[in-house]
Amino acid sequence: MGGNKIYYKCFPLDVMKHKQNQSIIRNILGLGIFLSALSISGDTRDDLEKEGVWTTTSLIRYSLENSVQARMSRLDLENSEYDWEKENGKYNFIGTLTANTQKTNNLPLPQYTLQGREITSNTLSAGLSKVFNTGTTASLTVSDNRYETDAGKRPEQQGTIAQQFAQPSLHFANLGFTLKQELLKNIFGYQQRRSLEISRRSSAVRRLDAMNTLSRSVVQSLLSFWNLSLADENLKTAELLVKSVKNVKDITSSKVRMGVAEDYESGQWNALLITAENQLRQAKLEKDRVRRDLLVSLGKDPETKVNFALVLDDSLPSLGAEEAETEEAFKHRYDFKSLALQKQNAGAALEIAKNGLLPSLYVSGTYNSREYDRNFPQSFDGIGNGRFTQNSAEIKMDYPLGNDTARAEFRNSQTQSRKMDLLLEQTKEQVKTDVRQGLQKINTTYEILEESKKNLSQAEKFYSGILPRYRYGRATSVNVKNALDLVAQARYGLMQAKVNYNSALVQYELSKGTLFRKYGMDAEEVLNQNTGDQK
């Protein structure tokens, strides 16, 4: 034992062979289970090679790298920017390219004499547009139109006045710019800016929720490891109990042969041996079940053999006052920070819904500069001079009569905002309760751990004192049986107390959102490590 850590060991119930004239058997403690550790990478492997055991930090790092639930949470972390990227993507530039060809054959009617019977129009255009978060839309369009008509060129028009209207094939160039601004409902991007704020906070919420799930999955893996240790301790206890029962059975059989014990006493220990062996079989089955469940959660082959040794914390940590610990929880706890951001989003959504009760008013203007030539791209020469222009302006207002949809959205946003107020207040109280209960649980489980140590020590003294007396007929088999049961229960109880105490420690750090920092990691380190693992 060193520092504030205790090595997980097993203690045999089997005693050494009796030596004549010895009245007590000492040194029951003896067999430790320091077995080879699972192979992992990075800093954890160095720790194992140096100490030969797994610390809580080692288990956390291993769980981060291997747990299926942790890997799923890492994927959620990678996708945490989804809401922001989706909303911000609305403000990207949009490029368009259009090619259009049209050929018209008109009826042989007088009104088409000057327009032409056969008209060909080919248009190629390119554009660039962008929506700004100020509610402004701007677009730039460049196009070229090749126009050809047979007006004045048909044989029956030769030598007539219509021949004067004949024209060659021409290219018409156009450079246009359109500006559109939304007013009232989304005056200068009122709603869009809030939508961007909501998406930014929603991405932060996704990140916090993923970190919350990740930390909880890590704690679950820790508990699975410790439960396997508990099952292993139960198995060792069952094995050693069988050995001890066999030892007492042999002593009883010897006493029966010497005539100092009744034959039925030997039958009693035969029955106890069968019971102990059945308990051993059940302990093996339970350990295999726990081992398989652990391996499946780590994404490993469930039939993999697992041997390990653990270091469990054994001393009471330095804890602050409840008020200070609660304030720390408010600063770091993932679910509380997530709800605080969601509350802000609910307020912003209410503002958007309230503004949505207003009409939509749009003001737009278009400027086009045109030129022409018989050839392309000469048709664009001089287009910047603005000799031939086409300008337009428009004012448009939209307002649904009755506007039931907008009012329904407003009422829904009000409801959601009030619900978030209630949920945030409830979570505040839950954080306070979790911190208070966590502190109490740490102190209580520590007291139980200390008492469990004393209990095991007393049970071992009782057993080591009763066994030699039974050899000489100064104790009954019932006394020996009770002593065996006490030691077995005390050993298992001590291991259970260690697991419960360490579980209380990590659950408390989880309730404050400081799990990774407590064990030598910060959130950014975890995120960077997880991102790197996926590349």
Return d(Cα 459, Cα 488) in angstroms, integer: 9
pLDDT at 446: 95
Percent of the chain having pLDDT more than 70? 87
Strand partners, 393: 365
pLDDT at 167 exceeding the cut of 70: yes
To which H or E segment does residue 122 belong?
strand 118-131
Return d(Cα 237, Cα 120) in angstroms, integer: 97
DSSP string for residues in 248-277: HHHHHHHHHHHTSS-HHHHHHHHHHHHHHH
DSSP string for residues in 348-400: HHHHHHHHTTSPEEEEEEEEEEEEEESSTTGGGTTGGG-SEEEEEEEEEEE--
Lowest mean pLDDT among 34-48, 72-86, 194-208, 368-382: 34-48
Strands (E), 150-192: 170-184
pLDDT at 525: 64
How large is the average pLDDT for residues 144-161? 81
To which H or E segment does residue 99 belong?
strand 94-105
pLDDT at 14 exceeding the cut of 50: no
Return d(Cα 186, Cα 78) in angstroms, integer: 33
Average pLDDT of the residues of the chain: 81
pLDDT at 151: 79
Decide: pTM greater than 0.85: no
Return d(Cα 157, Cα 200) in angstroms, integer: 69
Return d(Cα 282, Cα 414) in angstroms, integer: 58
Higher pLDDT among residues 109 and 200, named by residue: 200
How large is the average pLDDT for residues 77-100? 86
How large is the average pLDDT for residues 494-518? 92
pLDDT in tens, 190-210: 888 888 899 889 888 988 988
Instruction: From residue 461, give the alpha-carbon distance in Å to each of 378, 464, 470.
Output: 109, 5, 15
pLDDT at 274: 92
How large is the average pLDDT for residues 506-528? 81
pLDDT in tens, 317-355: 888 899 999 999 999 999 999 999 999 999 999 988 888
pLDDT at 504 exceeding the cut of 80: yes
pLDDT at 468 exceeding the cut of 70: yes
Return d(Cα 304, Cα 218) in angstroms, integer: 21
pLDDT at 182: 86
Return d(Cα 535, Cα 525) in angstroms, integer: 16
Provide the pLDDT confidence category of residue 366 given band limits of 50, 70 and 90: very high
pLDDT at 36: 27
pLDDT at 34: 26
pLDDT at 180: 93
Tokens of 113: 């004499």
Strands 360-373 and 311-313, bridge-based pairing: unpaired
pLDDT at 330: 94
Q: How many CA atoms lie within 13 A of 70 on its CB side?
A: 28
How large is the average pLDDT for residues 414-420? 92
pLDDT at 526 exceeding the cut of 80: no
Burial of 67 (0-12, 13-18, 19+ CB in 10 A): buried
Buried b (16+ CB within 10 A) or exposed e, 262-279: eeebbeebeebbeebeeb
pLDDT at 79: 78
pLDDT at 457 exceeding the cut of 90: yes
pLDDT at 11: 31
pLDDT at 533 exceeding the cut of 60: no
pLDDT at 478: 79
Among the ranges 54-63, 70-79, 212-221, which has the highest mean pLDDT value? 212-221
Tell which residue, 209, 314, 219, has the closest CA to residue 518.
Answer: 219
Q: Give, in degrees to the nearest 5, the angle at Cα 67 between 65 and 72.
A: 95
Return d(Cα 309, Cα 226) in angstroms, integer: 10
Provide the pLDDT confidence category of residue 140 given band limits of 50, 70 and 90: very high
Query: For the chain, what is the radius of gyration of the CA atoms?
Result: 42
Provide the pLDDT confidence category of residue 184 given band limits of 50, 70 and 90: confident
Greatest alpha-carbon span in the chain: 151
Contact 424, 340 (CB under 8 A): yes
Higher pLDDT among residues 314 and 498, named by residue: 498
Per DSSP, the three-state class of 159 is coil
How large is the average pLDDT for residues 463-475? 82
